[in-house]
Amino acid sequence: MVIAIWILTLLGLALWSLVAWGLHALLGLDAGALMGDLKPLIAQIPYGSVIEQWIPGWQGLLQATLELSQTLLGWLGSAGPVLVWVLWGIGAATLLAIAAVLTVIVIVARRALAPSQHATA
């Protein structure tokens, strides 16, 4: 049982590392190149006049949101390696702690359920 716990933990750690690597690769992309120049596309949104009746100034709000998201993605890209390492460390430590606790539970349960040597003598 202990071997199964640690095999599953190592598999989980491998998958967690793969997720962290993917997040690092995603955050490493250039935000400007990723989002491109989307401002001309805002003017081409279908039924813009209908949207303007319901939400006045929606195009300006959408452009401001676009600029804010580019700035945020740029900041995340520069802080990405640190964030990914911290998240990976927290996740890896959690997986290892859970495996250690489960191992201790299994060992204690085995000892409690094992027949006593003093009773058979």
pLDDT tens-digit series, residues 64-119: 888 888 888 778 777 888 889 999 999 999 999 999 999 999 999 998 888 776 65
Predicted confidence (pLDDT) per residue in 42-72, tens digit: 778 888 888 888 888 888 898 888 888 888 8
Model confidence at 120: pLDDT above 60:
no
> Cβ distance 23 to 95 under 8 Å?
no
The pTM of the full predicted model, rounded to 2 decimals, is 0.64
pLDDT in the model for residue 34: 65
pLDDT in the model for residue 32: 67
Tell me which long-range contacts 36-41 makes (C-beta under 8 A, separation of at least 24): 38/66, 39/63, 39/66
pLDDT in the model for residue 98: 97
Model confidence at 33: pLDDT above 90:
no
> Cβ distance 97 to 11 under 8 Å?
no
